[in-house]
Amino acid sequence: MHKTPEKIAKQKKVLAKAVLSSANQLGLTQSQLAIVLNLDSVETLNSLELDPDSSQGELAIILIRIAISLDALTGGEAKWMQHFMKSPNKLTKGIPIKQIQTT
């Protein structure tokens, strides 16, 4: 199925908005989000475009999935989601917010 330019543009905008929302929910700063997505800055996202087929788009989708999973585990409590992200985790042997910033 062929994607129209309008559909592609809409997908880029939806992904950018979703990853910004997810990062906010997880307590990531803009500079942390830029590191996670391997971007020089989040200016690309502030202009509301992120290609789902790019490597940054794939990383954004993973971050969104993390936010969705933590949302389900915490009952949507952003405070607990952020606590999880910033606290040492015995299972992953690190602090999740730091671990997602390393490649």
pLDDT in tens, 84-95: 999 999 999 999
Q: Which domain holds residue 82?
A: 5-99
- Beta-carbon contacts of residue 67 (< 8 Å; ≥ 6 apart): 21, 22, 23, 25, 26, 81
pLDDT tens digits, 34-75: 999 988 777 766 676 889 999 999 999 999 999 999 999 999
- Indicate the angle between helix axes 55-74 and 5-26, nearest 10 degrees: 50
How many distinct structural domains can be found in the chain?
1
What's the pTM?
0.88
Is residue 50 within 8 Å of 16, Cβ to Cβ? yes
Average pLDDT over residues 5-18: 91
